[in-house]
Amino acid sequence: MSLYFQATVTQVCSPVGQTPQVYVSGSRDHTHFYGALNLQTGHQFALPTPIQSSQTTLTFFEDLLLAYPVQPILLFLDRAPWHTAKLVTDFFATHPRLHLIHFPPACPDLNPQEHVWSQARAAVSHNHTFRDFDLLKTAFLDFLSTTTFNIVSTLTAVPPLLRQLLRQV
C-alpha cells in the first residue's frame, strides 16, 4: 500500500454561500506499507518502507516471524511482483512456519488487508490537513496500531469457502 502526502478529497463541507478551501501540498512525498492482519485478534502488523521490492518483502516476513515466534503463519498475498519473485518463493521454502496462499488476480475485495488499508485511508489520509508528511505517516501508523480490525465479518464479496477458511484461522 502506498501513502501519498497529497490528500484525497472525498467530502468538503462549508457554510452556505462560502467556497470551501482545501490545502493541497505540492509535495510528492510518499511511503509504502507492508501489512499483515491477525484475523484472530484484529491486530495489524505494519512496516513502513521507502520501496516495495522482493528484498523488502523478505525483511517484512522476517519481522513477522519475530513478532509471532512460535505459531505457524498463514499468509494471503496478492500477486504483486515483489510477492512472487524467486527470492520470496525460496524464502518460503526455507521457513516451514510460513504458509502461503495467493489471491486470484485482480481480486482486492477478497483480501482482508485491502479492507484495513481502506479504513486507514478513510480515517487518516482522506481530507487530511497535515502540513508535514512525517505527521501524516505517524498518524497512519498510530491508527493501524491502535485499531482492532474485525474484517472477516465484513467480507461480503468473499466466496463462502474462503470465508469459512478465514474464520478457522
Domains in the chain with CATH codes: 2-168 (3.30.420.10)
Q: Structure pTM? A: 0.79
Residue range 122-145, pLDDT digits in tens? 898 887 777 888 998 999 999 999
Number of H helices, E strands in the chain: 6, 5
Helix (H) or strand (E) holding 92: helix 86-93
Residue range 53-84, pLDDT digits in tens? 999 999 999 999 999 999 999 998 988 999 99
